[in-house]
Amino acid sequence: MKIVVLDGFAENPGDLSWEGLEALGELTVYDRTDPTDEGLILARIGDAEAVYTNKTPLCAAVIAAAPQLAFIGVLATGYNVVDTAAAAARGIPVCNVPAYGTGAVAQHTFALLLEICNQVGHHSTAVQAGRWAQSPDFCFWERPLMELAGKTMGIVGFGRIGQAVGRIARAFGMEVLATGSRPTPEGEAIARYVPLEELLARADVVSLHCPLFPGTARLIRRETIAQMKPGAILLNTGRGPLVDEQDLADALNAGRLYAAGLDVAVTEPLRADSPLLGAKNCFITPHIAWASRESRQRLMDIAVENLAAFTRGETVNAVNL
């Protein structure tokens, strides 16, 4: 079996091994493939039977022009880069990797929140610059510091990651509110389910963990920000398009929201003219919540097993069949 990985660098920049896929066939790995060059994508797929992608799009035309293609693996949970209907029409399973990064994303969500609350990075830089040594007091701080205990965390999207965030929030002494497609006993043990409008009005911290669908695009925009508690904090480690970036920047600059912690953007990499750059109290990391080594190793292991199962005549983690 010929196997091609179109854009493997994000998953494996060199600290993991591709040996699991190498054991299943003749493997070719490209670090990156220009997502706008359909001809290059087709040339690299060639006569491969199995293709893995992370962000390189596999549209209907590409799928139709790859006659040997029998399996599509996605090196991520989200699979919107693949025309799943076109693949299904040819009987090609599209297999993603669910649940590999739950702990990593929940941890990063709180890394952003704790940075907002404790300003560790700013004060460490200030100390290294000598400002503590010049202080007349035994301690000094240049930005407000905040406790989480007693505050309310509102979680939009209460699946695996949302519930993991909720458990951490409770450990910090926070009340947890949640909104999701349907309450579950596991979720009700962590949070109280409320309508979105109530969550926005009551939460001191709103954290987004819902999928990106037409109904959730621009979920956070001028109108919904107006429903939020004045001075609230917004966190987004889910999908960039859940947030209208101009409306968020306006709310931060006007002091309507206290701060935002973001790991995703509408366009990635973040545009050089993004309104979020320079916005007040806006903390941005470059889509790394998922990227711990442990998390990426789990992703690799599941991606390999998806194809191994296919070679045994089984279908695992298929999103379209």
Asked if residue 181 has pLDDT above 90, the reply is no
- Mean pLDDT within 38-46: 98
- Mean pLDDT within 263-276: 97
- Mean pLDDT within 44-61: 98
Q: Which CATH superfamily is domain 102-284 in?
A: NAD(P)-binding Rossmann-like Domain (3.40.50.720)
CATH 3.40.50.720 residue ranges for the chain: 2-100+293-311, 102-284
* Mean pLDDT, all residues of the chain: 97
Q: Which residues are catalytic?
A: 239, 268, 287
Residues 321 and 20: their CA atoms lie apart, in Å, by: 25
Query: According to CATH, what is the number of the domain 2-100+293-311?
Result: 3.40.50.720
| β partners of residue 235 | 207, 261
pLDDT tens column, 84-115: 999 999 999 999 999 999 999 999 999 999 99
Asked if residue 279 has pLDDT above 90, the reply is yes
Residues 6+ apart with CB under 8 A from 232: 203, 204, 205, 206, 257, 258
